[in-house]
Structure 1
Amino acid sequence: MTDKTPEIRRLNDAFRRSFIGGHVVLTSGVAALADTERRALLRSVRAFEAFNSGNDPHAEHDFGAIDLEGSKFFWKIDYYDAEMRGGSPDPTNAELTRRALTIMRAEEY
């Protein structure tokens, strides 16, 4: 954990809960779900709070695993530079960072 971790966590939580302030990417497996299943999954991602040292070792709230109706899904937040060509030089700086939240079936990982 660094001195920037609390701010990274705050920004990740705000983005994940609202889907505002970054890009949300659904894999083909998630896009193929029925509308009701896909909406339930998106609600589950937004509401996710089951962070622990196993799924959040850096305390940034950037990954989660969800079981939904017998299927397992993962979501992951990555930090890119403003042009989305490489990693962000500072994930706490919104002008330098573009967040991408990818939601996938576990088998697509």
Structure 2
Amino acid sequence: MTEVTTLSAEDQAEIDRTAKIAEQNDLFRITWGADPSVQGQIVVTQGVSALSVIAQMRIMGAVKGFATFTEDNDPYGDHTFGAFEVTDEGKAILLFWKIDLYDTDYTFGSDTPEDTDATRRVLTIMQRSEY
């Protein structure tokens, strides 16, 4: 006999909230911040900015196209982190991207990260050695 588990309304609301945040994070990342419905900034570390223009273009493409979310790299299901690599002149460059959710002044974490009117995203791209 199969056991059926019923979620509480609170648990279902949290699942829905997380899914909404993940969708917004994906939209921000995939559009490279160009969709005005999900506002924020994209920043790169000094190590990334020092790479060649070709490497930076490959990084942008890899971040935008990232879809390898697993329990290990996305334990909360909100799509706020990715690990990837690109090559530049035959050399592998190991990188991370992460999205932080702030209030509209970029001062504190957002109290309502699912509310795009009250939340600003910061997508940071860094070499793994810079973490």
Same fold (TM over 0.5): yes
SS at match of 1:42: helix
Q: 1:93 is matched with which residue: 102, 110, 115?
A: 115
Q: Deviations over 1:52-93 (max 9, x none)?
A: 000000000110001112111000000001111100011111
Q: 1:81 is matched with which residue: 100, 103, 107?
A: 103
Alpha-carbon distance between aligned partners in 2 of 1:81 and 1:26, rounded to the nearest angstrom: 20
Q: Are residues 1:105 and 2:102 paired?
A: no
Q: Which runs of 4+ in 1 moved over 4 A?
A: none
1:48 corresponding residue in structure 2: 66
Point out which structure has higher relative CO (alpha carbons under 8 A, 6+ apart). 1
Normalization by structure 2: what TM-score?
Answer: 0.81
Normalization by structure 1: what TM-score?
Answer: 0.96
Q: Are residues 1:72 and 2:85 paired?
A: no
Q: Which runs of 5 or more structure 1 residues have no equivalent in the other structure?
A: none
2:27 corresponding residue in structure 1: 14
Aligned residues: 109
Letter in 1 for 2:61: R
Report % sequence identity.
39
Q: Which runs of 5 or more structure 2 residues have no equivalent in the other structure?
A: 1-10, 34-38
**CA-CA distance at 1:19 after TM superposition:** 1.6
1:24 corresponding residue in structure 2: 42
Alpha-carbon distance between aligned partners in 1 of 2:29 and 2:120, rounded to the nearest angstrom: 13
SS at match of 2:84: strand
Letter in 2 for 1:93: D
Alpha-carbon distance between aligned partners in 2 of 1:41 and 1:95, rounded to the nearest angstrom: 29
Letter in 1 for 2:93: S
